[in-house]
Amino acid sequence: MSDTCTKCGMPQDLCVCDSIAREDQQITVKLDSRSYNKEMTVVTGLDDESDIKDLESTLKTKLACGGTHKDGQIELQGDHRRRIVDILEDEGFSRTNIEVK
């Protein structure tokens, strides 16, 4: 017998809790200036720590940049505000819940 999800009670292979949680998150993307006037794109509003690590790796690969995750946010080197919304939407986040500053 398959395991059931503790949140929705559905079998694990039919569980949609993760995709629903991704659609409900309010994400903010903003540009920050670091030392020597280097630009840094900061993504905040992500809930799950393991999700942040996987998403950071995906963003760095697709945007061809360096970066890190700390304090519940993802920091990417450079200004990626134009492309990041499309990538986040491809990853399952709702476009209407992504605010770019």
Q: What digits encode the pLDDT tens for the residues 64-81?
A: 999 999 888 999 999 999
| Tokens 């999700």 found at | 51
CA distance 64 to 49: 22
Judge whether residue 63 has pLDDT over 90: yes
Where are the extended beta strands (E) located within the chain?
27-33, 39-44, 67-70, 73-77, 98-100
Of residues 47, 84, 29, the one with CA closest to residue 62: 84
Cut 0.75: pTM above it: yes
